[in-house]
């Protein structure tokens, strides 16, 4: 079964989405991290404004929770444009998209989250809209069918995806600007946490912010979520003051350890090591042993463990690396899992 996790990079509730909106920076100068993306996007925005043109279509790709939606709103603010938001799974019929496109004004932003999940008929309907700013809409059926050519105002499509490889080549080729978002450093996350604490009027010192940042798995969304939990703990247990020890105590209570791993992460590593002798083991077997869905392990657990080199994916299955043994305080065997590749 899937579960809500404190360290999940995905949004876990509508309430959290509204909360994050209050913390979202409004301008690119306030945006922390992603220096290369910010520099290139700043140039593209300034050039478009100087020429009095709408921005080229933009595709943001990278793991969830890194700021793709935030950057879409920053683009809208920078261009002085209205932004309309939707998602790939929400667009099922061409009529749904037709209504959105015809209501866009000159230079407006259409933000499509999870754009890799657009149905094929919607994707094909988008091609002439992106390329020629017009759509062909078919009315009636059979011998009475007529095609109406509908002109559109020049707009900017901003797409966001966690799986750029799942985008079709025709759709991908219609984007002019591509930006890959990477995980954040501890220093960048600490700056984000301190900024959020200021907005929330939380009493946070630098050591407390650093402690939270270390456990935020390189992801601002997780950092802000952890800050909320630590703030609640501090309000009840520490007169609202968040220092390093308060942050440690709060996150220990939540089951988030020094490296940002939670119970599911540790169980995942422990199962590979204890049950399957360090691997290799197939993800289906791991899912059955842990009583979790394969998608949960692949999409929500493995990415961070792979990035931190706790596990490796091989053609024969998942293998626990030495870092996983060390993290669980287990001896790394002299003849370890790697000999299984020989």
Task: For 226-258, write each residue's pLDDT tens digit.
Answer: 999 999 999 998 888 999 999 999 999 998 988
At residue 339, the pLDDT reads 43
- 3 pLDDT higher than 80: no
Question: Has 86 been annotated as catalytic?
Answer: no
- pLDDT exceeds 50 at position 2: no
How far apart, in whole angstroms, are the C-alpha atoms of residue 305 and residue 211? 19
Could you tell me which CATH class the domain 186-253 is placed in? mainly alpha
- Of the listed 5, 68, 217, 318, which one is catalytic? 68
Q: How much of the chain, in percent, has pLDDT values that exceed 70? A: 93
User: Given this model, what pLDDT does residue 188 score?
Assistant: 95
Whether the pLDDT of residue 214 is over 90: the answer is yes
Q: Which residue has the tokens 């790709």?
A: 61
Output the pLDDT for position 64: 87
Find the catalytic residue in 5, 94, 108, 113: 113
Average pLDDT of the residues in 74-83: 93
69 counts as catalytic: yes
CATH fold, domain 263-341, is Arc Repressor Mutant, subunit A (1.10.10)
Strands (E), the chain: 58-61, 83-87, 109-113, 134-139, 146-151, 156-161, 177-180, 203-204, 241-242, 311-314, 317-320
Look at the chain and count its residues. Answer: 342
Asked if 162 is an active-site residue, the reply is: yes
Question: Catalytic site residue 82?
Answer: no
Per residue in 169-211, pLDDT tens? 889 999 999 999 998 999 999 999 999 999 989 899 999 999 9
The sign of the dihedral angle between the CA atoms of 240, 241, 244, 245 is: negative
**Amino acid 136: pLDDT:** 77
**β-strand partners of 158:** 58, 111
User: Could you read off the pLDDT of 258-297 as tens digits, one per residue?
Assistant: 888 998 989 899 999 988 888 898 889 888 998 888 888 8
294 SS3 class: helix
Q: 4-8, 54-58, 325-329 — which is least confidently predicted?
A: 4-8
Find the catalytic residue in 5, 215, 221, 225.
221
pLDDT, position 165: 83
The pTM is what?
Answer: 0.84
What pLDDT is stored for residue 1 in this prediction? 38
| 68 included as an active-site residue | yes
The pLDDT of residue 293 is: 86
Per-residue pLDDT, averaged over 135-162, amounts to: 80
Taking 50 as the threshold, does the pLDDT of residue 11 lie above it?
yes
Averaged pLDDT of the chain: 87
Do 217 and 304 form a contact (C-beta atoms < 8 A)? yes
**What pLDDT score does 227 carry?**
94
User: Can you say how many angstroms the Cα of residue 321 is from the centroid of all Cα atoms in its chain?
Assistant: 26
Residue 5: which of 299, 329, 248 has the closest Cα? 299
For 34-180, the fitting CATH number among 3.40.50.300, 3.40.50.720, 3.90.1330.10, 1.20.140.10 is 3.40.50.300
Structural domain spans, the chain? 34-180, 186-253, 263-341
């Amino acid at each position: 079964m899937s579960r809500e996790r404190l360290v999940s990079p995905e949004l876990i509730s509508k309430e959290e989405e509204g909360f994050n909106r209050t913390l979202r920076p409004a301008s690119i100068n306030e945006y922390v991290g992603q220096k290369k993306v910010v520099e290139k996007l700043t140039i593209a925005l300034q050039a478009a404004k100087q020429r009095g043109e709408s921005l080229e279509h933009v595709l943001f790709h990278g793991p969830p929770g890194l700021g793709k939606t935030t950057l879409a709103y920053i683009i809208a603010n920078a261009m002085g444009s209205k932004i309309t938001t939707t998602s790939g799974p929400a667009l099922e019929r061409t009529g749904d998209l037709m209504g959105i496109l015809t209501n866009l004004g000159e230079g407006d932003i259409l933000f499509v989250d999870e754009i890799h999940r657009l149905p094929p008929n919607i994707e094909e309907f988008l091609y002439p809209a992106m390329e020629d700013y017009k759509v062909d809409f078919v009315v009636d059926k059979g011998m009475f069918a007529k095609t109406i050519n509908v002109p559109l105002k020049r707009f900017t499509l901003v797409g966001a995806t966690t799986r750029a490889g799942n985008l079709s080549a025709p759709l991908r080729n219609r984007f002019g600007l591509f930006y890959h978002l990477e995980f954040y450093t501890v220093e960048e996350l600490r700056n984000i946490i301190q900024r959020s604490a200021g907005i929330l009027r939380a009493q946070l010192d630098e050591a407390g912010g650093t402690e939270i940042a270390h456990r935020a798995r390189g992801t601002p969304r997780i950092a802000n979520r952890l800050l909320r939990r630590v703030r609640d703990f501090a309000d009840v247990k520490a007169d609202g003051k968040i220092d390093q020890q308060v942050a440690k105590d709060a996150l220990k209570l939540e089951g988030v350890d020094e490296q940002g791993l939670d119970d599911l992460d540790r169980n995942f590593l422990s199962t590979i090591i204890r049950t399957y002798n360090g691997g290799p083991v197939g993800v289906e077997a791991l899912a059955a042993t842990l009583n979790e869905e394969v998608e949960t392990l692949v999409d929500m657990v493995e990415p961070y463990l792979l990035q931190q080199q706790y596990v490796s994916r091989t053609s024969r299955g998942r293998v626990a690396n030495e870092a996983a043994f060390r993290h669980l305080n287990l001896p790394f065997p002299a003849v370890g899992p790697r000999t299984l590749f020989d």
